Amino acid sequence: IEVIEMAGPLLKEQMIKPKYDWKKLTDQIVEKLELKYEPVGVYLVPAEHAERYEKFFENFSKPNGRLTYCQAVDTVRGATNYSKLAERPDVLVLKAKDFLCSAGAANLGFYDLPEAIKNGERDFLLRRFPSIETSKVTREMIPHFEAGSTSSVVVFKLSKAPVDPHVVLVFGNPAQMLSLEGPYVMKTGGRLEVDVLGTCGVCAEMTVSPLLNRKMNLSTLCGGARSHAFKDPTEMGIGISGIEFADLVENLLARQNIPKRQDLPKELQ
């Protein structure tokens, strides 16, 4: 308690006032890529000094019952309402008790995985792996935050961002996601190495990996995500840290202005 008092409360302008115009950025990327749904922002409230953060989100909607992380994301983007609230919310705040999927909650840092999943036994018994050892090492390599490091997660339609998101999730068809790969590397050059397994596609691959690995990550989603929420089989997604998103949109707009091959001078074709 003494440490909290010495640190002092967060200032309103530190927490609430977004640095970027998220409505403008959202409109730009949706228009250029012709996205069906606008991106989703994610803000992770740390467990340490959580009370200093959570007061800023206390008036936003909480689900009326348990749901998966995928369902929460699908809800705020406007596809389906899994929140069990009368009206679909644009912002949804989730605590550990609200999660239907233990793997998703564990990956996001709410708590540790159940031992039977953590040690590989469950997936081995489900005949997903030829041995417990391969099951365990694969599970260990799934991106995840430290158990107990997260107090709550706030997911929101990006145009309605109440705060700068830690991560932005963009969903679309393969051609639309392909359009983001080039613009992402335009600033630094190089190549994009993807961290993907096809398991925990939205929680681990799109939300955790971009923060842990400090790079945009592509996901083909996963069986759980498609079973519980994302019904379009052509959909996939990317996750990118919020501080990189503005540059991504700017580079996307610049890339879209590159002349098409048929418009180039003949000597350059």
Per the CB < 8 A criterion, the answer to whether 229 and 71 are in contact is yes
Residues 6+ apart with CB under 8 A from 223: 198, 199
The token duo for 204 is: 């681990």
Q: Is the pLDDT of residue 34 over 90?
A: yes
Domain ranges of the chain: 19-257
User: For 38-92, how does the pLDDT look when each residue is reduced to its tens digit (9 = 90+)?
Assistant: 999 999 999 998 888 888 898 999 999 999 999 999 999 999 999 999 999 999 9
- The string of pLDDT tens digits covering residues 117-165 is 777 767 765 677 777 777 777 777 789 999 999 999 999 999 999 999 9
Residue 57: how many other CB atoms lie within 10 Å:
20
Q: What is the pLDDT of residues 165-178, one digit of tens each?
A: 999 999 999 999 99
For 83-100, write each residue's pLDDT tens digit. 999 999 999 999 999 999
